[in-house]
Amino acid sequence: MLNKLEKEGVFSRYAIGGAMGATFYTEPVLTFDLAVFVLLPQRSSGLVSLTSIYEALRARGYGEEKETVMIEAVPVQFLPAYNALIEEAVAQAREIDYEGVPARIARAEHLVAICLQTGRAKDRARVAILREQARLDSNFLAAVLKRHQLEEKWKLWTE
């Protein structure tokens, strides 16, 4: 469904993030929704809205439930790329094959950076598990942290 919506231009690109994105690189962790970052086409008003995604999914019989849309019994939370880091994470996401279906997942280094930026307790735990289990590219991570002014936060969380 995500690929179809992208092909139809409902959003220009997507990448899976959040706990399921992290689980691609780490041991499985309990989560109840699928977080999907999306690059939305710019509207003339300049406002970013998820309405077009909700409408496209509603037309296919997928209804909203709280802050998610239930797609094939999976609550999917769409998050517009709200800053330069998320835009970069979506642009540089990895292409994977999930049981014959192409999908896109944010790079582990970007997930680390997003956690640092978001800064909740669960983000701290996620950074710890990604550091421990994901094969992080240290040069790539350093460049991301520098580009998005997250080096100090990284030091604070890891030293």
Q: Which of residues 65-84 bind other proteins (CB under 8 A)?
A: 71-74, 76
In whole angstroms, how close is the CB of 122 to other proteins at the nearest point?
15
Q: Where are the beta strands (DSSP E) in 60-149?
A: 64-65, 68-71, 74-80, 94-98, 101-105
CB of 8 to other proteins, least distance (A): 16
CB-nearer residue toward other proteins: 78 or 154: 78
How would you classify residue 157: left for phi > 0, otherwise alpha for psi between -120 and 50, otherwise beta?
alpha
Single out the segment in contact with other proteins by CB under 8 A; choices: 46-54, 82-90, 93-101, 109-117.
93-101
Count Cβ atoms within 10 A of the Cβ of residue 45 and give its class: 0-12 exposed, 13-18 middle, 19 or more buried.
exposed
Minimal distance, residue 28 CB to other proteins, in Å: 4
Pick from 43, 63, 67, 101: which binds other proteins (CB under 8 A)? 101
Neighbour order of strands in the sheet with 13-16: 64-65, 68-71, 74-80, 34-39, 13-16, 101-105, 94-98
What are the residues facing 65 on neighbouring strands? 68
Interface residue with other proteins among 10, 11, 18, 26 (CB under 8 A) is 26
Q: Which of 10, 15, 25, 57 binds other proteins (CB under 8 A)?
A: 25
Judged by the rule CB under 8 A, the positions of this chain that interact with other proteins are 1-2, 20, 23-32, 34, 71-74, 76, 96, 98-101, 133-134
